[in-house]
Structure 1
Amino acid sequence: MSSAHSRSSVDPVARALDAAVARVLDSVIGVEAANPVILIDGQSGAGKTTLARRIVERWPVQGRVQSVALDSLYPGWDGLEAGVEYARGAILMPHARGLIGVWHRWDWVEGARAEASAVDPSLPLIVEGSGLLTPATARLGDVRVWLESPAPERRRRGIARDGETYEPHWNRWAAQEEAHIVRDDPTAHATLVLAVP
């Protein structure tokens, strides 16, 4: 038995994420498409990025899977809603129409868009980030995930991940996430609602 498997069998977060990966991949297989789109939403620290990475690692079909994190798109600390709209227009809509999508990374230091990346519509696509599941984006995703996680644990993980950079902005960002939940009701648009301790 590998040490990674041993750790995941003991760690409740790792165990929950492993179960989440299995549920998502079962749903992907059920879609029966060569280029399914997976949308992963949840509040900061819920495990979205880790889930996306593990889905890519365990993808059930040979070939490349594209993954885009909204952290690369949000235009600053007040940009949750704008980042989601940017992803919808630059990535999700072109993919749905069979067109190459082009998006520009947000440079948080310079406060401006930077280098461009392309999204191939013939390939599977995972997009993950807070605020992602809205009435406008839901119709563009085949598998739509909402990750639930307790606020204290989310904060602990988020600050551990990003440290002092994030801590002064935590409440400011959390307020935008709460507004998204009230406005967009992401669980109503999710095909899977999954819990992470």
Structure 2
Amino acid sequence: MTAAKRAYAALARTVIERPPRLGPVRLVAVDGRAGSGKTTFAGRLATALRAEGVAVAELHTDDFLDGWAKLMAWQPRLREWVFEPFREGRAGAFRRYDWAAERLVDTWTPLEVPHTLVVEGVGSASAAVRPDLTLGVFVRAPRELRLARGLERDGEQLRPQWERWMLDEDAHFAADPTADAVDVRADGAPSVEHDPEIEYIMAANG
């Protein structure tokens, strides 16, 4: 490997070797702006953790939002439904936000206490969460690419929502410079040749 390349397997072992800080659970946050590649990074790290034989749960902050209205609406829900039970060694449960119906579903999804919980989403490594983190990651990508990815996924008709959301992200990260406080800063649009299934690229300044 070159100096810019890192293996997900090595990062998984780092998580395992570090102590839990959310009760018995090792909490990993994969933060960054929408469209940066957070979901992909989180999924590949979770895969590497499972390959090491540990029980992993994955959550996405988008599933705890109130649509496009409020960037951090997920935080009190995730804390009450998952973080605090896990802190006490108890199973959690949550209601997922249905983006089509624009409301929380009625059904509660149970969540047993895992070895590692990987949470992906904007603000997942914010100041309020960092004391509980075993590992924090921030994924970066150019603004134009992030918007293009979002519109490809959601459709051009949601451009106004995406543009407003991106402004809200700018305000959030100006107030909470998360990228300066995490353990890993990853490139979500790397030009360095690598095997993306097992390797990630460090951001230029990280």
Q: Normalising by structure 2, what TM-score?
A: 0.77
* Greater CA drift, 155-164 or 171-180: 155-164
2:67 alignment partner, SS class: coil
Alpha carbons of structure 1 residues 103 and 20: separation in structure 2 relative to 1, 3 Å: farther
Q: Normalising by structure 1, what TM-score?
A: 0.80
Q: Give 1:176-187 correspondences, 5 Å limit.
A: 176-187=168-179
In structure 2, distance between residues paired with 1:54 and 1:72: 19
Residue deviations 1:35-73, cap 9 Å, x none?
A: 421111100111111111112222242243110111111
Tell me what 1:25 maps to.
12
Greater share of helix residues, 1 or 2? 1
Structure 2 gaps, min length 5: 190-206
Residue deviations 1:132-169, cap 9 Å, x none?
A: 22221111221111111111121222222222364231
Deviation of the 1:77 alpha carbon: 0.4
**Percent identity between the aligned chains?**
28
Tell me what 2:142 maps to.
150
The answer to whether structure 1 residue 50 and structure 2 residue 56 are counterparts is no
Deviation of the 1:28 alpha carbon: 1.1
Q: Is this contact kept in 2: 1:38–1:143, CA < 8 A?
A: yes
Deviation of the 1:23 alpha carbon: 5.5
Residue-pair matches, total = 181
The answer to whether structure 1 residue 72 and structure 2 residue 59 are counterparts is no
CA RMSD of aligned residues (A): 2.3
The amino acid of 2:42's aligned partner reads A
Alpha carbons of structure 1 residues 162 and 143: separation in structure 2 relative to 1, 3 Å: same
The amino acid of 2:11's aligned partner reads V
In structure 2, distance between residues paired with 1:63 and 1:138: 22
Structure 1 gaps, min length 5: 1-15
